[in-house]
Amino acid sequence: MSAHGFSKLVYSTESGRVCPDCKQAVDACACAQTKKSAVLGNGQVKVARQTKGRGGKCVTVVTGVALDAEALGALGKQLRSRCGAGGTVKDGVIEIQGDHCEVVLQALLQAGHAAKRSGG
């Protein structure tokens, strides 16, 4: 197999820089937009309580929500304020400190997500 020398080339046009992903002029490129609005979950929303590997501390974990990163972050914020607890949103997973499965489940259902309890 020979190396693909073309991939080493720096692409450019008269109008300026070219996106390395889509080869469109940066001005016309939609990659950043697409990435930003990429839906993270598969829509099979699961609410689970996790204690393993957390020094006995309990967290409520929400996975599978079919939202993009920005909307998921906003949802995480809503859920945290609803529960009055801290937490994070990372890699498409919402974590809320403490056992708030019922509250989170109801909040998700009210927001139109077909959420289900998962595990214990």
Binding site for Zn ion (CB under 5 A): 19, 21-22, 29, 31
Give the gyration radius of the chain's Cα atoms: 20
Question: Which is nearer to Zn ion, 19 or 66 (by Cβ)?
Answer: 19
3-state secondary structure string across the chain: CCCCHHHHCCCEECCEEECCCCCCECCCCCHHHHHHCCECCCCCCEEEEECCCCCCCCEEEEECCCCEHHHHHHHHHHHHHHHCCCEEEECCEEEEECCCHHHHHHHHHHCCCCCEEECC
Question: Which is nearer to Zn ion, 34 or 51 (by Cβ)?
Answer: 34
Question: Which is nearer to Zn ion, 21 or 102 (by Cβ)?
Answer: 21
Question: Which is nearer to Zn ion, 15 or 110 (by Cβ)?
Answer: 15
- Least distance from Zn ion to the Cβ atom of residue 29, Å: 3
